[in-house]
Amino acid sequence: MIQATANSNSLNVAIALSKAGLLYELITTIAYNPDSQFAKLIDQLPFGISDWLTTELKRRTWITPKSGRIRVHPKQELLRLALNRSNLSNILKLDHRNLIDWVYADLDRHVGHHHLQGIGAVYAYEDEAATTFEQAKQKGIWCFYDLPTPYYKTSQHIQAEETERFPELKSAIPAIREPRGKLERKQREVELADHIFVASSMTERSLLDIGVAPEKITVIPYGAPVDYFQPQPKPDNTFRVIYAGRLSPAKGSHYLLQAWKDLKLPHAELMTVGSNMMPPDWFAPYQDLCRQVGSVSHVALNQYYSAADVLVLPSLVEGFGLVLTEAMACGIPVITTPNTAGPDIITDGVEGFIVPIRDPEALQEKIEWCYEHPEELAEMGRSARRKAEQLTWTRYQEQLSAKVMALLEPSTTR
């Protein structure tokens, strides 16, 4: 298994493969253990350095697997972190996205040339698999591919349409400026993959649109973090809509702001939690209409969800939308679009609502309904929590490992 960073989905893939006795090696850039001697040494560094290093490394915390071993290839990632921390990347005019791609491509090459001996299958992620899959094919090794976001052609098409509607947002839509080499790698990865795992029907549709056979794709929605996101008492009586995540055109945040501006609800608040990726000064006309919290730690999100009545995620293109299951785990209903995992994890009108993309009027209608029906909305929240309790990471692990084992059965025809 190959993954440069540790996140909820990759951690649970590793756990699933390990539990099934299928994991031989997990290869990553940095594997941090907060209980290690190395972590204790970091704590002894000057506060500014130790705090920054700990924050960075915690994002790369891997759970030691029951079977298999963790191997690291850290040089390029450490260099990238140093360039960013020292501001040399800005001085040298190195684009941070290109640096990340450089780390991914290097990890891919390393695995392809050094980690394919004595195995029957490899499980790799988008942007990290082209060379590995090419080498694996020559050795008759199965290639499992994990695509967490819609295929780039769908993503680019939707976001290019958005630049036509809002030319002033073009600078905030980097997906339309991806280098050709990177896109060619993405295409090779999909072509070489024997089977592709995705987390939503939205991502599945993006693959079907380019001719990928349906039987080559498995949809398994991610789990809900019900253990560490819990319903909490709301601290006040203000009707509050929460938007969690980066404010960006791809997430449709500008449509929510437009809808909220036109609603003019008394004793109500729109709260945004996350960094603002919109062009400079674009947010100025909306500044007095909502409360901007900015980025917060993941553990702090629970209190913000619990202070809200409904989460709105009006994304134009999204592979899943983890904030949906986080809010649901907190007992908060959701309003989202078909271009997220919404249709895979909620029933429209039960745990929340599904509205079309680019439709501020539909957003207004559903938000206003929530405002005017507090008792029904509270029941929706309870339904959301119940649904989240069904969408466990254990369920995700079991479905994924079962599918991998079925595909690896000797009788399976490739």
Note the pLDDT of residue 412: 45
Query: Alpha-carbon distance 29 to 39, whole Å?
Result: 17
Note the pLDDT of residue 64: 64
Instruction: Supply the pTM of this predicted model.
Output: 0.92
Here the tokens at position 190 are 């999909």
Note the pLDDT of residue 414: 42
Among candidate residues 217, 223, 220, 218, the one with its CA nearest the CA of residue 199: 220
In the chain, the largest separation of any two C-alpha atoms, in whole Å, equals 66
Q: CB of 56 within 8 A of CB of 85?
A: no
Note the pLDDT of residue 94: 80
pLDDT in tens, 14-36: 999 999 999 999 999 988 777 77
Residue 234 has pLDDT above 80, yes or no: yes
Phi, psi of 332 (to 5 degrees): -110, 125
pLDDT band of residue 413 (cuts 50, 70, 90) is very low
pLDDT in tens, 67-104: 778 898 989 988 888 888 788 888 877 888 888 999 99
pLDDT band of residue 38 (cuts 50, 70, 90) is low
Phi-psi region of 184 (alpha: psi -120 to 50; beta: other; left: phi over 0): alpha
- Domains assigned to the chain: 8-222+394-408 (3.40.50), 239-391 (3.40.50.2000)
Strands (E), 171-282: 195-198, 217-219, 239-244, 268-273
